[in-house]
Amino acid sequence: MARYYCSGFDVANAFGHGLGELFRQELKSNGSVVFIPGGVERVEKAKNKTVPVFLEHLKNVGIEFEKSILMTPELTKEQAREAVKHADMLMLLGGNPFQLKDFCAELDLIKELREYKGLMVGLSAGAMFMSKYIIVTPCSEEYPDFQVEEGLNLDGISIYPHNNTEEEEYPEKLVSGDEIYVRNDLLKVAAEYGEFYLIQDHMRESGETDVSLIKVTNGHAEYYTENQGKIWKATGNGVEKLV
């Protein structure tokens, strides 16, 4: 049983750099892969873009499934639960982590996800939902306030994605796309809810992507990085660079 907490991937070669080999070692069979979009509003994007892209990336590293299933509101609760129960690989996609949580609750998948024993990969919102806490600090128009909710708590850890900087020390303010992360806000959350990890998917001007993720196997956490990927840990006292 392995779970991957990811921010993002190399858009040109998502499962290259050895990641696909790890997946192949952990897959017991290639019967089905199940994709869960980051909320109802993300279903169409997942259907038309995200899922085909990921299937192609998997194929590029020698992984092809007999069946690919996308969770949609049209599925019955029983159909959704059975799909997850029998999946060889689960991918929880990006979007809004709170909407993802609500979507899974509506399909009655929370218990099934917590009991799932196969290969699970969480991307951005998906990794946040897998966490002990879904953590959002005021960073954009979409997320103007602190919002912390319980996640699936699969491994007792929490992650915050898209901490994209080339700096070794975590800056006081980090601008990543249309979001701004404030270090003191991160410390405030850590002081109240416990330490959590900051991971990245930073594309440099050269086109290379600095990727970092956390892999947990049967309770044992490992750090995985590509290129100059970095992982920090936020505590009540500061932000510590781990990798």
Write the pLDDT tens digit of every residue in 160-216.
999 999 999 999 999 998 999 999 999 999 999 999 999 999 999 888 999 999 999
pLDDT at 38: 95
Instruction: Identify the CA nearest to 187 among candidates 201, 198, 175, 202.
Output: 198
CA distance 223 to 156: 15
Length of the chain: 243
C-alpha–C-alpha distance, residues 11 and 115, integer Å: 31
Helix (H), strand (E), coil (C) string for 211-231: EEEEEEECCEEEEEEECCCCE
pLDDT beyond 90 at 1 = no
Strands 2-6 and 209-217: antiparallel
Q: How many whole angstroms separate alpha carbon 164 and alpha carbon 179?
A: 10
Give the domain ranges of the chain: 2-241
* Nearest-10 crossing angle of helices 19-26, 51-60: 90
Rg (CA), the chain: 17
Give yes or no for residue 17 having a pLDDT over 90. no
What is the token pair recorded at 64?
């092809």
Closest to 97 measured CA to CA, from 57, 62, 143:
143
- DSSP codes joined into one string, 37-48: EESGGGHHHIII
Mean pLDDT, the chain, as a whole number?
96
What spatial distance separates the first Cα and last Cα of the chain, rounded to whole Å? 24
Residues 63 and 27: beta-carbon distance below 8 Å: yes
For 111-158, what is each residue's pLDDT tens digit? 999 999 999 999 999 999 999 999 999 999 999 999 999 999 999 999
Model pLDDT, residue 205: 87
CATH code for the domain defined by 2-241: 3.40.50.880
Per the CB < 8 A criterion, the answer to whether 148 and 132 are in contact is no
Task: From 120, 198, 124, select the one nearest 159 (Cα to Cα).
Answer: 198
Which pLDDT band holds residue 105 (cuts at 50, 70, 90)?
A: very high
What's at 226, amino acid-wise?
Answer: E
| In the chain, % of residues over pLDDT 70 | 100
